[in-house]
Amino acid sequence: MTAPDAGRGIGNGERAAEITTTFVGLPRDTFRILHVSTGNVCRSPITERLTRHFLSQRLGVLGGGMIVESAGTWGHEGAPMEANAETVLADFGADPTGFVGRELLDEHVIMADLVLTATRDHRAQVISMGHSAGLRTFTLKEFTRLVNAIDPATLPPLEEGVVRRARALVRAAAALRGWLLAPTLEADEVYDPYGAPLPFFRSIGDEIHQALDPVVTALTGVPART
């Protein structure tokens, strides 16, 4: 992984995209998801924008205090998303516009409630930054595997707020981590498509889509529309 991998999924002047549904009778709160890859121009922008898209599909235009953002361990500050990554997002009906890459900083890790990385190396780099990040940092595919093993009935219902549900999901996944290991070392990796032709970008987009779908379903308690 030698080249930039995009990720800044929200808008030119924004640090994150916030989906803002407030449930009646509940205090306003937020849950921040941080997607991390290398250059923050390919994988993490795709993952960030797809997460926002899926949350909007499940919860409507207004969403529940969910903030979705991204950064790169070697992020190119101010860089645009790769054109092939934009095409992949458009294939899924997600909005690629206004993306600006950024370098991963301590403040991003400190503020994140859940960090999802493209690879195990990225996960190790995030955890090495400290800030008690170990219990809330997973590779995307690792988190998917753990989420699939969690009984949804053990999580707070959406009526109690998506933020509360999301926090409970992260705690449950962290508790399972040592009991549900990856079948192979490669099973938790999303490989870098930087510089590859569009068909390979699309295959990576499909991987990310398949990994994200059960995660967003578990976060919101709302399955994908068929």
* CA dist., res. 63 & res. 85, Å (int): 25
Domain extent at residue 135: 31-220
Helix-helix angle 83-91:43-59, to 10 degrees: 20
Q: Residue 24 falls within a domain, yes or no? A: no
Q: Residue 20 falls within a domain, yes or no? A: no
Q: Residue 36 falls within a domain, yes or no? A: yes
pLDDT interval class at 1 (50, 70, 90): very low
pLDDT interval class at 6 (50, 70, 90): very low
pLDDT at residue 125 greater than cutoff 70: yes
Q: Residue 9 falls within a domain, yes or no? A: no
Q: Are 205 and 88 in contact (CB under 8 A)?
A: yes
* CA dist., res. 77 & res. 60, Å (int): 31
Q: Residue 226 falls within a domain, yes or no? A: no
Q: Of the ranges 24-28, 74-78, 100-104, 155-159, which one carries the lowest mean pLDDT score?
A: 24-28
Q: Residue 53 falls within a domain, yes or no? A: yes
> In which residue are the tokens 């301590």 written?
106
Strand partners, 71: 36
Mean pLDDT of 11-26: 36
How many domains in the chain? Answer: 1
Separation of CA 223 from chain center? 17
pLDDT of residue 16: 39
Q: Are 224 and 54 in contact (CB under 8 A)?
A: yes
Tokens standing for residue 191 = 């490989």
Element spanning 71, H or E: strand 66-72
Q: Residue 193 falls within a domain, yes or no? A: yes
Cα–Cα distances (Å) from 141 to 61, 119, 122, 133, in that order, read 26, 9, 13, 18
pLDDT digits 0-9 by tens, 147-198: 999 999 999 998 898 999 999 999 999 999 888 787 887 889 999 999 999 9
